[in-house]
Amino acid sequence: MRAFADLIERLVYTPQRNAKLRLIADYLAHTPNPDRGYALAALTGDLRFTHAKPAMVRELVAQRVTPELFALSYDYVGDLAETVSLIWPEKELDGGGPPGLAEVVETLTQAPRGAVPGLIEAWLDRLDANQRFALLKLITGGLRVGVSARLAKTAVARLGDRDPAEIEEVWHGLEPPYRGLFAWIDGQAGPPAVAETQRFRPMMLAHPLDDPAADGLDPGAFRAEWKWDGIRVQLAAGADGGDGGHLYSRTGDDISGAFPDVMAAAAFDAVLDGELLVVRDGVVAPFNDLQQRLNRKRVMPAMLTRHPAWLRLYDMLFDGAEDLRGLPFDARRQRLEDWHARVRPSRMDLSPQLDFADWDTLAALRAGARADQVEGLMLKRRDSAYVAGRPKGLWFKWKRGPLLIDAVLLYAQRGHGKRSSYYSDFTFGAWRDAAADAPALVPVGKAYFGFTDEELRQLDRWVRANTVDRFGPVRAVRPDLVLEVAFDSVHRSTRHKSGVAMRFPRIHRIRWDKPAAEADRLATLEAMIVESAKGPAATEP
Amino acid sequence: MPETPITDWLEVRPQGLFVRPGGFFIDPVTAVDRAVVTHGHADHARPGHAHVLATPETLAIMRHRFAGDPAGAQALAYGQRLRVGDATVWLAPAGHVLGSAQVVVEHAGGRAVVSGDYKRRADPTCVPFEPVTAELFVTEATFALPVFRHPPVAGEIARLLRSLSLFAERAHVIGVYALGKCQRLIAELRRAGYDRPIFLHGALEGLCRLYEAHGVVLGPLQPVTAVERRALAGQIVLAPPSALADRWSRRLPDPLTAAASGWMRVRQRARQRGVELPLVISDHADWDELLATLDAVAAPEVWVTHGREEALIFAAQARGIRARALSLVGREEAEDGG
């Protein structure tokens, strides 16, 4: 438990991805089975303890600590697990020593509900403050240490000098504490055997492109299709798997549970690549609608009716047991079309291919696609095999031009790691007519990239020289500097004071020359909101 | 039993605690005629007093900070008794920083102890706290919540050294208060066997020299400016907390930000300050130590100053002690000193 607690502690405070990777890899290298396997499962979110609840932890601490003192402390610290871990009265250790991570996980998994409080209480008595924190975070769910499942798996790959794609492919067929995986990583056994539908095939990704003509690409060698604004998924459905198949996100997270409607339609044997969307009456809904469906463990029936999920297919990786990934794109597309015509699955259609003879035609199509539901165009070489990762020269994403507004810098916050001495996170606002004579700036977004290192130095200097107030790491600045902000789209939002939320805002230019009074108004931003239904219509083949 | 209640001769005035029979203030926040100063931190030692009574070490620290001031300084060693007007004054070690003292005042058969800031842990750079029984005890309450329980220092130093070996290409820059924490951290690192040079921000050099002049061994120290940027990779660099987020830190190669303070116990506090490696090393008593001190001093009345008074007053009253909050001006939470 001590090593795991130390790891959690370091991860909580470490912002850099590479440093996190090293911390995790170092832990996995120096921790024996099965502890390291359970730690990995905790990081990837694959451990669940149904009987341990925060309310139970509160009851336990209420028996040990005076309520007044607990209340004062909780008020000061703010987090329940942390307060309890710090305030828990430390007894002289009874010689039992701290329990191991595996002991905790295995005991808790098998324990009946009634035995859980007693177990946790006894463990809390045997652990130090950091270990108590790790225990409480572990059992009440959600470590929240800024580590994605993807990152944890990458650390495993690094440990064994493997490609992360190899770990992803077998991951969903594995169970904690992953002895087979570690035997393979340690070079003591071959790769673990897993069922076909439980394999996630790492996806083929595209490079961004500004202008295909300028890059000298031959239009005759490429196919073009819309880049839909949903989330890219892989559907692995199989008659042999017996578990109804799996829906994986681009990073290999299993999101099947949140999309029972799509899974019910997956009664076939194939592995498909496509875009997950919310589609109503053949019309693609804005990304925000899809977002309502993401990150849910359970879906309410009303949600299924109001936000029906849809899969728009791009590619076919397996037809039955046949691996198509080595075939050229055109051949795979033909197989996909034939398969679709034959099987006619519900809730799925084909992403249409666009007719074009030259780049100008395509540029015109792209310019016309100002709708919310399309991010731009995808260009795929007709002869491209399906290659995991981001191979050069095969697939390109040609995003539509960004939207722009001129906003006024309001707050700046210090960054992390290399940027910890720079004010690098910028909150900006637009004018709102509060009263005719007193217009006010309302924050509309936050951006922390888009500028060069030299521009960052200039911005940092400006922030320090124009600070009017400080709140911890945040500085309020004189509303004098205009930033040209680029963003992909803007939506209505009830969570923001301004009522709008931008997607992917970034600093496009610093308008040192422009007076703040001439910056854009909130109304300008509101006019850019695309409500719905103006995107290219779905095509029923 | 005292002939007159202590509350009749120890007064709370806007400038600070005033001992009427002696005609002096303890740690006054503005310049006064006669002051007794517990220790050299800026919120206790102020410039401009006409007469100052303190330990020789505290006077040396004040002279260093205030360029020669105080003019009318009188040194009083620990345990040495001095008659001031109608009162007797002596100083007992507080274990907070070099020269830190509790002010013991006796008058009319009664004894009050004003402890200033104190800690109970061993500190290689200063004399340990000595409990003095009293009728009235004035205590700090910086970490007076049961969530503050400082872990053993050796463990924190071990975490720092482990990080140094794992991230050997990064300069480990640690935010420390210039007086006390800086020198204690260095001494603890030496005790753990770390013998490489430790690099200092310019603002820390003077007080380190002062400590060394008082016999505290700190080993090889170098100013950050003395070496090339690359040479600082994998080294320990100490700086005042304010310098961590400042442009100063840009001279360091890929700095890993650490801080040594009791506040580092609470994650949200540490994260707010962008700290990657929080070291819970405090120069104040933690919750258990505050309570143990109340027991050792056995004072029937306790005044609680600067910090989270509420919890300590609650706990003191539960022990049958008359306890009240003492609102002194100028004793706001000074987090850097934690």
d(C-alpha A245, C-alpha A266), whole Å: 7
Structure tokens at A362: 């395509």
**Contacts made by residues A165-171, CB under 8 angstroms, sequence distance 24+:** A165/A202, A165/A388, A165/A389, A166/A191, A168/A200, A168/A202, A168/A252, A169/A199, A169/A200, A169/A201, A169/A202, A170/A194, A170/A199, A171/A200, A171/A252
The predicted pLDDT at position A538 comes to 39
**Longest Cα–Cα distance in chain A:** 80
Contact A77 B266 (CB under 8 A): yes
Where does B66-152 have alpha helices with state H? none
CB atoms within 10 A of CB A198: 19
Residues of A in contact with B257 (CB under 8 A): 420
Asked if the model's pLDDT at residue A424 lies above 80, the reply is yes
Q: Based on the domain organization, do B214 and B291 belong to the same domain? A: no
Query: What CA–CA distances, in Å, run from A290 to A308, A309, A314?
Result: 9, 8, 18
Same domain, B134 and B20: yes
Query: Do residues B137 and B262 share a domain?
Result: no
Q: What is A207-399's CATH superfamily?
A: DNA ligase/mRNA capping enzyme (3.30.470.30)
Give the list of residues 6+ apart from residue A71 with CB closer than 8 angstroms, or none. Answer: none
Asked if A352 contacts A226 with a C-beta cutoff of 8 angstroms, the reply is: yes
Q: What's the structural domain count of chain B? A: 2
Gap from B107 CA to chain A (nearest CA, Å): 36
| pLDDT for residue A539 is more than 50 | no
CATH (domain of B48): 3.60.15.10
Q: Is residue B190 part of a domain?
A: yes
CATH, residue B214: 3.40.50
pLDDT digits (tens, 9 = 90+) for A148-160: 888 999 999 999 9
Instruction: Write out pLDDT tens, residues A348-400.
Output: 999 999 999 999 999 988 887 756 578 889 999 999 999 988 899 999 999 88
Which residues in chain A have Cβ-Cβ distances shorter than 8 Å to B308? 72, 76
- Per-residue pLDDT, averaged over B162-185, amounts to 94
| Same-domain check for residues B253 and B295 | no
Residue whose token pair is 């103006």: A534
Rounded to whole angstroms, how far apart are CA atoms B312 and B142?
A: 10
Q: With an 8 Å Cβ cutoff, are B266 and A82 in contact?
A: yes
Residue B150: is its pLDDT beyond 50? yes
Task: Of A86-100, A410-424, A492-506, B129-143, give the range with the top mean pLDDT.
Answer: B129-143
More confident residue, A475 or A439: A475
Q: Which residue type sits at A71? A: A
Q: Which CATH class is domain A403-527?
A: mainly beta
Domain boundaries, chain A: 2-140, 207-399, 403-527
Distance in angstroms (rounded) separating the CA atoms of residues B250 and B238: 14
Contacts of A197 (CB under 8 A, 6+ apart): A236, A237, A238, A240, A241, A243, A245, A246
Note whether B147 contacts A421, CB cutoff 8 Å.
no
Could you tell me what percent of chain B has a pLDDT over 70?
A: 96
Query: If you search the block for the tokens 């610093």, which residue do you land on?
Result: A510
**Nearest by CB: B147 against A87, A416, A473:** A87
| Judgement on whether residues B63 and B122 belong to the same structural domain of the protein | yes
**Pairwise CA distance, residues A113 & A49, whole Å:** 10
Whether chain B has a CB inside 8 Å of the CB on A198: the answer is: no
Picking from A66, A90, A421, the nearest residue to B247 by CB comes out as A421
A222 versus A229: which is more confidently predicted? Answer: A222
pLDDT at B331 over 70: no
B76 with B134, same domain: the answer is yes
**Domain boundary, last residue among B229, B248, B279:** B279
Contact criterion met (CB below 8 Å) for B334 and B181 = no
- Inform me whether the pLDDT recorded for B281 exceeds 70: yes
B42 part of a folded domain = yes
Tokens of B53: 């009574």
Task: Write out chain A residues lying below 8 Å of B318, CB-based.
Answer: 66
Q: Write down the H helix ranges in A300-407.
A: 301-306, 329-343, 359-368
The percent of residues in chain A predicted with pLDDT above 70, rounded, is 93
Q: Give tens-digit pLDDT for B193-242.
A: 999 999 999 999 999 999 999 999 999 999 999 899 889 999 999 999 88
User: Is the domain of B88 the same as that of B182?
Assistant: no
Both B135 and B197 in a single domain?
A: no
Tell me whether A461 touches chain B (CB under 8 Å).
no
Say if residues B273 and B108 touch (Cβ distance below 8 Å).
Answer: no
- What local confidence, expressed as pLDDT, does residue A311 receive? 97
- Whether A227 is catalytic is yes
What CA–CA distance (Å, rounded) separates B338 from B335?
Answer: 5
Q: What is the pLDDT of residue A437?
A: 60
Q: Which residues of A touch B286 (CB under 8 A)?
A: none
Among residues B317, A323, A367, the alpha carbon closest in space to that of A331 is found at A323
Q: Which amino acid is at A188?
A: Q
**Domain with residues A2-140, CATH architecture:** Orthogonal Bundle (1.10)
Residues of A in contact with B244 (CB under 8 A): 420-421
Which of A227, A380, A399, A514 is labelled catalytic? A227
Give the domain range for residue B255. Answer: 153-279
User: Rounded to 5 degrees, what are φ and ψ at A337?
Assistant: -65, -45
pLDDT at B334 over 70: no
The predicted structure's pLDDT at residue B337: 47
Whether B133 and B217 map to the same domain: the answer is no
Are the Cβ atoms of A83 and B147 closer than 8 angstroms?
yes
In the numeric block, the tokens 């029937």 are attached to B300
Which pLDDT band, with edges at 50, 70 and 90, does A535 fall under? very low
Q: Test B245 with A421 for CB contact under 8 angstroms.
A: yes
What's the rounded mean pLDDT across residues A262-270?
Answer: 92
CA distance A47 to chain B (A): 24
How far apart are the C-alpha atoms of A191 and A189, rounded to whole Å? 7
Q: Are residues B72 and B112 in the same domain?
A: yes
Nearest neighbour of B274 by CB, restricted to A23, A73, A420: A420
What integer pLDDT is reported at residue B283 of this predicted model? 97
Q: Is the pLDDT of residue A532 over 50?
A: no
Average pLDDT over residues B264-293: 91
- Looking at the structure, tell me whether residues B264 and B289 fall in a common domain: no
- Per residue, the 3-state secondary structure of A410-460, as one string, reads EEEEECCHHHCCCEEEEEEEEEEEEECCEEEEEEEEEECCCCCHHHHHHHH
Of all residues in chain A, the one with the smallest CA distance to B160 is: A10
Instruction: Given the cut 0.85, state whether the ipTM is greater than it.
Output: yes
Which residue type sits at A43?
L
| Residues in a beta bridge with A500 | A492
Confidence of residue A402 (pLDDT cuts 50, 70, 90): confident
Stated as kind and residue range, the H or E segment containing B141 is strand B136-141
What is the CA angle A380-A381-A384, rounded to 5? 105
Cβ distance B185 to B159 under 8 Å? no
Report chain A's mean pLDDT, rounded to a whole number.
Answer: 88
Q: Is B270 found in the same domain as B195?
A: yes
Give residues 399 to 458 of A whose Cβ lies within 8 Å of B: 414, 416-418, 420-421
d(CA A265, CA A416): 45
Interface contact B265-A22, CB threshold 8 A: no
- CB neighbours (10 Å) of residue A300? 9
Among candidates A59, A42, A68, A49, which has minimal Cα distance to A121? A59
Facing B257 at nearest CB: one of A66, A87, A420: A420
Q: Which of residues 20-59 of A touch B (CB under 8 A)?
A: 22-23, 26
Which one-letter amino acid corresponds to residue B43?
Answer: D
Residues constituting chain A: 541
The answer to whether position B1 is within a domain reads no
pLDDT tier, B269 (very low <50, low <70, confident <90, very high otherwise) = confident
pLDDT of residue A412: 94
